[in-house]
Amino acid sequence: MLEQILKKDKLTRDDLIYGLKLTDEGELARLFEAAYEVKTREIGRKAYFRGLLEISNRCRKNCFYCGIRAGNDRVERFDMTREEILSMAQWAYDNQYGSVTLQSGERNDPAFVEFIDDLLVEIKKIGGGRLGVTLSLGEQTDEVYRKWFDLGAHRYLLRIEVSNPELYKKMHPANAVHSYETRVDRIKALKRLGYQLGTGVMIGLPGQTEEDLADDILFFEKIDADMIGMGPYVVHQDTPTGREVLEKGLNGPEEIKRRMTLGLKMIAMTRIYLKNVNIASTTALQALDPLGRELGLKAGGNILMPIITAGEYKTKYLLYDNKPGVEDDEGKIRDSLTERIRAIGEEVGLGQWGDSPHAALPRKDFQAPDNELITPPDKTDKK
Ligand code: 5AD
Ligand code: SF4
């Protein structure tokens, strides 16, 4: 049955569910191998770095699963300063990271928006515009998205988190700030406004089925995502979801292994189904397994987001427990990730934006002279 599915050019929803339900070790190995073949063919054996700057952990939202939710008063809130952010962006450029990602909790007050405006102007001066900028700053108005795009941001990450509206409601408070409809609308807006669109989900949430996850993949297709960032759900003990999972005894080694494997299966099925999108091998994988990020690359992922958040802030930007690498400085994180990539026989796409072949041609106005779309190594074996 698995071999039949893997021969198909276009999988059905049932095929996706079948793949996501696999448990046999041999079959899982075969699935990951097949996904790796698709990645090798469509993208090459190359992993791209996006330096992740967690610029602030203030958030106006209260997602039940997240450690920096507004309602968690145990969190010490921080803002990286303008100078700290710019100096780390310069560091990323000097270290040949093709791009940086600015991420924070969700804020939409004018002071925040203006702060980002200024950062974009300054970051775009680095290397004469060569450093790519991805934003991951939550739901904003069309006007704000447009302004940030005009200032040079070319990719935006906004996860749907869970594409099943019923489950979405269970994971978020019932109020207008957490509306599923608005979320979908904002994701569509990003695409319409010209961004390369990244979205994604959490995997292994309480009550989430393989059917839900198959529908998540179909959602990525429907909204025409260019990149996917998804990872296993990881407990944060000071959150409603985390407490529920811990109370029910659902965070033991077996359960963690299940979520981890489910995360890898999602990467593999998404790679096989969507073929040429960028897929991140996320930090959450490594939070559950020390080798998680390599496994993510081996299952079809091609993007790593090394954390370059300044100093002690890293330890305060805790979406979940056991965040890896908080003790290490950015140089050590870079070296260990580079080593991990080389150890599995891949190279790092240094100094390139690494836009996915799925995305339209990169924008001309801010295009760096040496920027390239990922050139697939060999298309001749493609039907
Ligand atoms: N486990 C895993 N991922 C989480 N995120 C938030 N909380 C958790 C958690 N407990 C993810 C969300 C968000 C991204 C920045 O982090 O998907 O979009
Ligand atoms: Fe805020 Fe994002 Fe966490 Fe939700 S997931 S509470 S929006 S930081």
**330 CA from centroid of ligand 2 (Å):** 24
Substitution candidate for ligand 1 out of 53, 202, 233, 318 with most atoms within 8 A of CB: 202
**70 CA from centroid of ligand 2 (Å):** 8
Average pLDDT over residues 85-104: 95
Q: Give the Cα separation of 170 and 148 in Å (integer).
A: 32
Average pLDDT over residues 161-186: 98
Nearest protein Cα to ligand 1, atom 18:
159
Q: CB–CB of 201/230 below 8 Å?
A: yes
Q: Give the Cα separation of 368 and 209 in Å (integer).
A: 43
Burial per residue of 280-299, b for 16 or more beta-carbon CB atoms within 10 angstroms, e otherwise: bbbbbbbbbbeebbbbbbbb
Q: Is the CB of 65 under 6 A from ligand 1?
A: yes
123-144 per-position pLDDT tens digit? 999 988 899 999 999 999 999 9
256-281 per-position pLDDT tens digit? 999 999 999 999 999 999 999 999 99
**271 CA from centroid of ligand 2 (Å):** 26
Q: Is the CB of 124 under 6 A from ligand 2?
A: no
291-335 per-position pLDDT tens digit? 999 999 999 999 999 999 988 899 999 999 999 988 888 888 889
Which ligand 2 atom is nearest residue 161's CA? 5
Q: Is the CB of 358 under 6 A from ligand 2?
A: no
Which top CATH class is 8-355? alpha beta
pLDDT at 111: 97
Going from N- to C-terminal start, the domains of the chain cover: 8-355
Which ligand 2 atom is nearest residue 62's CA? 6
pLDDT at 372: 52
Q: Give the Cα separation of 245 and 251 in Å (integer).
A: 6
Closest residue by Cα to residue 320 from 62, 33, 69:
69
Nearest protein Cα to ligand 1, atom 2:
233
